[in-house]
């Protein structure tokens, strides 16, 4: 049995979704233990009792006696031991696209989105009398660093998706774990109103991903 310790409104949704895909493909059994954020919007301390990092996702593989953290590693682990027919991870020439976008999600995209979120929280929680100064710094960093890097990443992604439904695979692409991994950051941008209509192919890709029955199944756990 696989047990996912899932934090609401977090990147652990990716592992939840992947487990639903594996369940649909292979009947892989899993259960979900939900945790809620604190009033400070942080992970609860109870997660540190499960793994020293104290962050979701945490996956417990009772069969192998393993407790795993880090989304990328958990994805690789699940594919290695549970995607037995390689339906979610290509081994042919599509491997290059698959691997590039898998790393793109956490290296080129998410650091900038996290930085944007952190600055927004700092402004929100800063004392009233210094808030204008903090907001000025935020705008400067956003204009000179965050926005250019996010736009560059989205331009590359939008171009790649111009003639395909999914990130890797021949022709129009084949849905895989890399789509699950990248989806969260892009979906959060759309939710916050930060995904312009000019990224039309990215919007289309989101729609293809979110039309999958396993995505809907994962959402039912939120």
Tell me, what's the pLDDT at 41? 75
Do 76 and 99 belong together in one domain?
Answer: no
Chosen domain end from 64, 88, 112: 88
Do 11 and 69 belong together in one domain?
Answer: yes
pLDDT in tens, 93-146: 788 889 999 999 888 888 888 877 777 778 888 888 888 888 888 788 878 788
Q: Which domain holds residue 186?
A: 95-212
Mean pLDDT confidence for 36-42: 80
Tell me, what's the pLDDT at 137? 83
Mean pLDDT confidence for 188-211: 93
Domains held by the chain: number: 2
Do 69 and 135 belong together in one domain?
Answer: no
Do 100 and 36 belong together in one domain?
Answer: no
Mean pLDDT confidence for 171-190: 93
Tell me, what's the pLDDT at 166? 96
Mean pLDDT confidence for 43-47: 88
Chosen domain end from 88, 108, 124: 88
Q: Is the per-residue pLDDT at 169 higher than 80?
A: yes
Which of 2-11, 38-47, 48-57 has the lowest average pLDDT? 38-47
pLDDT in tens, 136-151: 887 888 787 888 889 9
Whole-angstrom Cα distance, residue 162 to residue 76?
27
Which of 34-38, 115-119, 122-126, 184-188 has the lowest average pLDDT? 115-119
Q: Is the per-residue pLDDT at 216 higher than 80?
A: yes
Structure-token match 């809907």, residue found: 216
Do 163 and 62 belong together in one domain?
Answer: no
- Cα 200 to the center of its chain, rounded Å: 20
Do 84 and 99 belong together in one domain?
Answer: no
Q: Is residue 149 situated within a structural domain?
A: yes
161: confidence class by pLDDT, cuts 50, 70, 90? very high
Q: Is residue 135 situated within a structural domain?
A: yes
CATH classification of the domain holding 72: 3.40.30.10
Do 118 and 191 belong together in one domain?
Answer: yes
pTM for the model stands at 0.89
Q: Is the per-residue pLDDT at 38 higher than 90?
A: no
Q: Is residue 182 situated within a structural domain?
A: yes
Do 99 and 84 belong together in one domain?
Answer: no
Q: Is residue 138 situated within a structural domain?
A: yes
Measuring CA to CA, how many Å separate 161 from each of 16, 101, 136, 165?
Answer: 25, 12, 35, 7
Whole-angstrom Cα distance, residue 212 to residue 210?
5
Chosen domain end from 62, 88, 114: 88
Question: Which residues are CB-contacts of 95 (< 8 A; sequence separation ≥ 6)?
Answer: 168
Q: Is residue 137 situated within a structural domain?
A: yes
């Amino acid at each position: 049995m696989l047990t996912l310790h899932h934090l609401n409104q977090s990147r652990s949704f990716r592992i939840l979704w992947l487990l639903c895909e594996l369940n649909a493909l292979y009947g892989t059994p899993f259960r979900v233990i939900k945790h809620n954020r604190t009033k400070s919007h942080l992970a609860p301390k109870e997660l540190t009792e499960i793994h020293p990092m104290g962050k979701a996702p945490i996956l417990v593989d009772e069969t192998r006696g393993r407790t795993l953290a880090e989304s990328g590693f958990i994805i690789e682990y699940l594919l290695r031991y549970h995607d037995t027919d390689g339906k979610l991870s290509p081994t042919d020439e599509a491997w290059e696209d698959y691997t590039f976008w898998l790393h793109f999600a956490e290296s080129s995209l998410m650091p900038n989105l996290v930085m944007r979120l952190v600055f927004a929280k700092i402004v929100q929680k800063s004392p009233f009398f210094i808030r204008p100064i903090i907001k000025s710094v935020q705008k400067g960093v956003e204009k000179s660093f965050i926005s250019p890097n996010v736009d560059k990443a989205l331009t590359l992604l939008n171009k790649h998706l111009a003639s395909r439904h999914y990130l890797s695979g021949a022709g129009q692409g084949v849905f895989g774990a890399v789509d699950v991994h990248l989806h969260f950051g892009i979906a959060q941008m759309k939710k916050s109103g930060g995904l312009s209509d000019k990224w039309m192919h990215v919007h289309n890709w989101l729609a293809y991903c979110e039309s999958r029955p396993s995505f809907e199944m994962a959402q039912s756990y939120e």
